Amino acid sequence: MKKLSKTNTELILHGNLLRAMLSIAVPVVINSLLQTVYNLTDTYWLGQIGKEPLAAINLVTPVQNIVLNVGGGVTVAGAVMIAQYIGAGRHDEAKKTANQIFSCAMILAICSALLLALFTPAIVAWLGAQDGTLYHAVRYLRIVILDMPFLFIINIYQATRQAQGDTVRPMLLNLLGISLNMAFDPLLMVALPLGAAGAALATVMAKFIPACIALRLMRDQHEVICLDFSLMRPERDRLRDIVRIGLPSALGGCVMQLGFLLMSRNVFVYGVDAMAAYGIGNRVNGIISLPSTGIGSAVSTIVGQNMGAGQVKRAEKGYLISMGCSIAFLFTGGMILSRPFIAQAIVSIFSADPSVVAMAADFLSTMAFWCWTNGIHDATSGLLKGTGHTEITMADNMARLWIYRFATLYICEHIFGLGVRSIWLSVVVSNGISSAVLLVLYLSKVWKKPRFHISR
């Protein structure tokens, strides 16, 4: 594994950039596809049970994502700092940073899970759930939050390996998780049957085993970057850098998820059918965006290591190549999935309800047609994260949802009277505006300003 990390670093710093991008992005895309399948497995089996459990999970998913974004901010900071330290050849500092990240994330995971369990009924009631939807949502959320520590361990392992240019092992670990989930879902949801609670239990059980494996791998002292309890004692300067880089990402993600909660309330106004359609459309559309997600992650690693090595022009070249590939992938896939008959055939897999299928197909077609703008957004976000400018990505995430999306939603609903289609249009318009703003920021060269000092 040490040899693999060294080979990946050499490729990122001195090899062919397209090859470097693909070597990182392809496993991330597969990993993201597995995660999407993970979500779609729940969606499929819940759709077989009924639309109330399906709507319940779609309603509370942003609540769970808020906590994930808090931990995500910590791991983003770790990935950026570790990548830059590796690029600068300072492996001891990278190892210390990884240990600080681990201790912070574990504390956050445990505290967040306890708080969320306490306030679950109040949160679900505030979202507007009633009767059967309320019952399923509370049961699901209170169980699924138990996977927080396990999920954070897996994410930290993924972040430390990706910072070294290794995305294959995290992909294999996720493959194990999805295989377990696909086995547990029908067993716990249908055979027992536990419904939405079974979906939550399946998720927890499917995360526990990969988390144990990830922890064991991170404890391997033969690795360049490994866990060492003696290095987990808080270091003020290192924690300051982690907070400075990670806090904006965490806040931006949390504020964005709060916005998604408000979006869920707006969708729920149109009924259970609309809520179920919204969830199906979002999850299927996630498949289209997988290349963009993977390439954005690759950009962050390539840029981080090259900036740490002082190779600014090479970092920029890697970003431009990656963005071009991302746009090409998304445009091609989007044109295919935006065809109404294809969109309808896909969403029909997850629901037999004609009203749900019609709305979900319309949502999917609209998003797919314009998804190529995500290629600009994800690659540029990767550039900014790789250089440590998470405060810009935070501002972008907040503006995309709270300004662009809600403003578009208001105009479409109250001025043009477009009804539930206002939701679909608000998503694509806000994504397009956000991508344009990030492109302007790239051209301004603000990403070239260093966020923390690394001596070489």
Q: Which DSSP state fits 448? A: G
Q: Which of 254, 263, 295 minimizes the C-alpha distance to 404?
A: 263
Q: Give the model's pLDDT for residue 7.
A: 67
| Every domain of the chain and the residues it spans | 2-448
* Below-50 pLDDT ranges, the chain: 1, 456
Three-state DSSP at 123 gives: helix
Q: What pLDDT does 388 receive?
A: 86
Amino acid at 331: F
Quick check: 46 and 356 in contact, CB under 8 A? no
CB 174 within 8 A of CB 34: yes
Q: What is the pLDDT of residues 312-332, one digit of tens each?
A: 999 999 999 999 999 998 999
Task: For residue 192, give the DSSP letter.
Answer: S
The whole-number pLDDT of residue 407 equals: 95
Q: In angstroms, what is the C-alpha Rg of the chain?
A: 21
In this prediction, residue 46 carries a pLDDT of 75
DSSP annotation of 224 reads S
- What integer pLDDT is reported at residue 208 of this predicted model? 95
pLDDT of res. 176: 92
